[in-house]
């Protein structure tokens, strides 16, 4: 006989799955979480085989922040993601009060390139102005992106959210050549796209997803198809792979 506690746990797990499914974009079939040290609750590891087995094609992994922080789980997660067949995106959290060139160099050194098998392009996480006015922040962003592209050989992705871009970046349309990863949790069919971008590439649609293999809640993201076949975009080993 199933105990009362086990029934409660089963019911809770089922409700969590349904909640995550209802929050996902209806048309999206290429999804993945993004993780940092916060998903390693009490030092626990992530079971990347369970993450992939539950239908997640990719994950975004925090690598660095500013000039003084490296995710202590970065190497561990990178190796296990590759072993499990999860395409890896890596991101740098920008601290614009410090040099963009030095931050780009730190990021590139830690990720050891971002152009190998199962690698998505590098990501710049823009959600802190560092006290810079829009003109100076726009210049900082150009300098960081140019540095990382030169060091990795790939055109970076920009992560941001609409209100930040419209205010801190004065809704600049100077970055539309870079793929956009937009955060918008309002539950609409499509996110708000600032800055003159014609479309979004990744959409972070919730910050409270539940993924097998990851302890606690996590952000969830969908791929739009804006960069074409996901397998090619993620350097999957077989050309033409959809990532399914």
Tell me the C-alpha distance between 217 and 210, whole Å.
5
Selected catalytic residue, list 34, 77, 184, 219: 34
Selected catalytic residue, list 127, 174, 192, 229: 127
125 belongs to the catalytic site = yes
Q: Could you give the 3-state DSSP secondary structure of residue 157?
A: strand
Which candidate, 123, 126, 106, 202, places its Cα nearest to that of 170?
126
34 belongs to the catalytic site = yes
- Check residue 62 and give left, alpha or beta (phi > 0: left; psi -120 to 50: alpha): beta
184 belongs to the catalytic site = no
Selected catalytic residue, list 77, 125, 184, 219: 125
Which candidate, 158, 148, 140, places its Cα nearest to that of 105?
148
Residue 210 and residue 198 in contact, taking contact as beta carbons nearer than 8 Å:
no
Please, which residues bridge with residue 226 across strands?
none
Report the catalytic residues.
34, 125, 127
């Amino acid at each position: 006989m199933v105990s009362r506690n086990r029934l409660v746990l089963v019911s809770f797990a089922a409700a969590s799955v349904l909640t995550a499914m209802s929050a996902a974009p209806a048309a999206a079939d290429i999804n993945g979480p993004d993780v940092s040290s916060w998903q390693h609750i009490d030092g626990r590891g992530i079971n990347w085989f369970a993450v992939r087995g539950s239908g997640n094609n990719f994950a975004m992994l925090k690598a660095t922040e500013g000039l003084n922080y490296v995710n202590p789980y970065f190497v561990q997660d990178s190796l296990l993601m590759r072993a499990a067949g999860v395409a890896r995106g890596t991101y740098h959290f920008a601290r614009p009060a410090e040099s963009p060139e030095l931050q780009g160099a730190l990021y590139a050194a830690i990720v050891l390139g971002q152009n190998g098998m199962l690698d998505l392009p590098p990501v710049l996480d823009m959600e802190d102005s560092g006290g810079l006015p829009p003109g100076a922040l726009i210049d900082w962003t150009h300098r960081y992106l140019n540095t990382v592209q030169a060091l990795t050989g790939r055109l970076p992705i920009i992560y941001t959210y609409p209100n930040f871009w419209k205010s801190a970046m004065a809704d600049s349309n100077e970055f539309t050549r870079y793929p956009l990863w937009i955060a918008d949790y309002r539950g609409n069919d499509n996110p708000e796209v600032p800055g003159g971008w014609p479309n979004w590439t990744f959409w972070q649609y919730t910050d409270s997803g539940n993924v097998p293999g990851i302890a606690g809640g996590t952000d969830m993201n969908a791929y739009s198809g804006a960069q074409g076949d996901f397998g090619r975009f993620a350097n999957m080993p077989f050309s033409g792979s959809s990532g399914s």
